[in-house]
C-alpha cells in the first residue's frame, strides 16, 4: 500500500508550547512530532493510507488543537533515506 506522507509546519501560541507536542503525537496519522526552532514551533510527520485522509488530519485534528495558530502542509512526492538504503543492502550480511 502506498502511503501519503506530509510534513506539517505548525505555529503555536506560547502558552501551548509545553503540551502541544504530546497532543500532536496522540493524533492518529501523526507518525512523529518535533519541537523546532525558527519561524515554526513544531513539525509533524503525517502518514496516512489515503490521500483524502490528509485533509482530515491536518484541518480537523491538528488545526483544531488549542493553541495552534497556523499550519503549512508539504506533501511528499518521494522519500529518500540513507537509513532505509543501508538496511536494504545489508540484508543477509
> What is the rounded CA–CA span in Å between residue 86 and residue 50?
28
Q: What is the DSSP letter of 49?
A: S
pLDDT tens-digit readout, 32-50? 999 999 999 999 999 999 9
> What is the rounded CA–CA span in Å between residue 23 and residue 65?
8
pLDDT tens-digit readout, 78-92? 877 776 656 556 555
Exposed (0-12), middle (13-18) or buried (19+): which is 12, by Cβ within 10 Å? Answer: buried
CATH code for the part of the protein at 4-89: 3.30.70.920
Contact 31, 67 (CB under 8 A): no
pLDDT tens-digit readout, 49-64? 999 999 999 999 999 9
For the chain, the domains span 4-89
Amino acid at each position: 500500500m502506498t502511503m501519503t506522507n506530509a510534513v506539517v509546519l505548525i505555529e503555536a501560541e506560547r502558552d501551548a508550547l509545553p503540551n502541544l507536542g504530546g497532543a500532536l503525537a496522540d493524533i492518529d496519522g501523526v507518525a512523529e512530532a518535533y519541537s523546532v526552532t525558527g519561524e515554526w514551533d513544531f513539525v509533524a510527520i503525517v502518514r496516512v493510507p489515503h490521500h483524502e485522509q490528509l485533509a482530515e488530519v491536518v484541518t480537523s485534528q491538528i488545526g483544531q488543537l488549542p493553541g495552534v495558530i497556523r499550519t503549512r502542509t508539504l506533501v511528499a512526492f518521494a522519500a529518500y533515506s540513507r537509513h532505509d538504503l543501508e538496511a536494504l543492502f545489508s540484508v543477509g550480511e
